[in-house]
Chains A and B, each alone.
Chain A
Amino acid sequence: MNSDESIKKSLSRASGITQDIFANKDVAHLFIHHDKVVSLQGVPGLIIEPREIPDGIDLQIRLKKNTVVANPVHMCFGLMHKEGIQRINMDITIEDRSSIQVLAHCTFPIAEKIQHLMNATINIGKHASYSYIERHIHGESGGITVVPKATIHLQDHARYKTDFELLKGRVGRIDIDYETFCGPYSVLEMNAKVNATHTDIVHIKEKGHLNGEHAHGVLLSRVAVRDDATAEVYSELTASAAYARGHVDCKEIVQDNGVVSAVPIVKVNHPKAHITHEASLGSVDSKQLQTLMARGLDEEKATDLIIQGLLR
């Protein structure tokens, strides 16, 4: 087995990806280890063009007009080393009336001193749909910094959904910064779920601009903070056109010496637009806790079940 094959196997094992996707010609995938492409497979209509750069990859992705990719595309960005930097610069174009779902596995299982830096520009065409699920798998040392930044443009009737999950292993330090501009009748959904422990530091900054008539947007964050971890969540949603609708929803649970803050900002610049927001910060809900304790769970187990639910 050559080294690329060996790394591909290690990455997929650590990411929980089954090997059968590699044999299936109908499933596109891209595996990047550090600054090297170790495996790539496309499907008709999907053009993936990676270019290796020092410490990373420049990546052009284009989904041709009227292409519907039936199976989720697996992307794996990882480092099976203890130290290093990985830069991923992505330029993604989803052309009109096309549709794709990407499962991105960001895998750093033994990280001790790693930086994972992602910069993405995403353009989603008219009546097109792009779903991006990003799951992080980190080690237990907390020696990792993750900085994903993205600017997303939705044309009319476009749909964009992103789920960011960092639930396995230590967060280390994360600094998310996403900004989305939404055209008429487009739909935006940004979800972030993070479980922070020890001395982890979480910064989430999400902005959505509902610029087109009938644009809809939801920004949702769920963060659990324990031990000495800290979290700051900044969610901003602006509605600037008639019948634009939006909702910002932030829930953060704090345990031990954790510290959280949430800044939900909602702006409405049109008399026929409407945005709501909801934020809940603090310890585990007392009634939930007592309900589970009244079934015999001790406080720690009851708290774990509530937090697992929140982050599910």
Chain B
Amino acid sequence: MGIIEIRDLSLTLNGVQILKNVSLDIWDGHIHALVGTNGAGKSTLASTIMGLEGYREVTGDILFRGENINTLSIDERARKGITFGWQEPARFEGVSIFDFVSAGISSGKQDDKETITKDALIQLGLQPEEYLYRSVDQTLSGGERKKIELASIIAMDPPFIMLDEPDSGIDVGTLEKMNEVIKKLKRNGTTILLITHSLAVLRQADHAFLMCDGQIIEKAAASKIIPYFEKNCIPCSHKNMPNKVGAL
């Protein structure tokens, strides 16, 4: 049984069917990638799993550890152990990095809040004394903001994490730091779903789901999906119009 099971999931937005009978299993403790070109439906699928606004009117089932979570709100899903890191994280005028990063720490760990928050920042190469009381606002660079997003997820310590385009807008050094953190999370037993069209990110994954036009057209080891995606999807002239199901 997967930590997440998706069964025949479909979503229609403004009369357009975005997700088409998606089914997949995400296995506990593994790194998965949801890969596809722009507009394939990757971020939409992750948004339905998180239950974001506008992505809740689905047909089919989303199961977390065997329990149907379709009707749960975002925060209820989060408290069960699901979270999501945005491609372009929101900025919060006046909210300190300490308050933001520590927001998701569970009630049972409140006594260690400061230590957990500092440790999460250090893992991303951010010095607490420099960052802790700055605001999560426009004064942070895009890369810094992405690191703080991931730090808040580390501090929350959920069993299942979705990261949408984790490499977008960041430099090579920051990407290496993020990759290290992702590997460490896996070693600690966290299940990760990377939403990406980047080969550098895809290479971090154990397994991959290839998406095209709102459908999962292949599920396999990442090592098998990578060459197919690189050869066929990246240069594809008919993006999101798959001419066959079963790519490999």
A positions within 8 Å CB-CB of B? 251, 285-288, 290-299, 302, 305-306, 308-312
Contact = CB atoms under 8 A, between A and B. Distances in A.
A310 B152 CA distance: 20
A310 B93 contact: yes
Interface stretch (B16-24, B81-89, B183-191): B81-89
A302 B79 CA distance: 14
Contacts of A298: 75
A295 B152 contact: yes
B50 interface: yes
B127 interface: no
B93 A299 contact: no
B94 A294 contact: no
A287 B95 contact: no
Contacts of B53: 286, 290
B95 A308 contact: yes
A299 B74 CA distance: 9
The 10 lowest CB-CB distance pairs between A and B, nearest first, are A295-B104, A309-B94, A309-B95, A312-B94, A293-B74, A296-B78, A293-B75, A287-B90, A288-B90, A296-B79
29 contacts: A251-B93, A287-B86, A288-B90, A288-B92, A290-B52, A291-B86, A291-B89, A293-B73, A293-B75, A294-B75, A294-B78, A294-B83, A294-B84, A296-B79, A296-B83, A296-B104, A297-B103, A297-B104, A299-B75, A305-B95, A305-B99, A305-B103, A306-B95, A308-B95, A309-B93, A309-B95, A309-B96, A309-B99, A312-B135
Name A's interface SS. Answer: helix
Interface residues of B, number: 26
B139 interface: no
B104 A311 contact: no
Point out which of A292, A297, A312 has the most chain B C-beta atoms below 10 A from its C-beta: A292
Point out which of B52, B74, B104, B152 has the most chain A C-beta atoms below 10 A from its C-beta: B74
Contacts of B89: 291
Contacts of A292: 103
A288 B92 CA distance: 7
B156 interface: yes
Nearest to B85: A294
Point out which of A251, A294, A308 has the most chain B C-beta atoms below 10 A from its C-beta: A294
B206 to A, nearest CB: 24
A312 B99 CA distance: 13
Nearest to B81: A296
A285 B91 CA distance: 10
Contacts of B156: 295-296
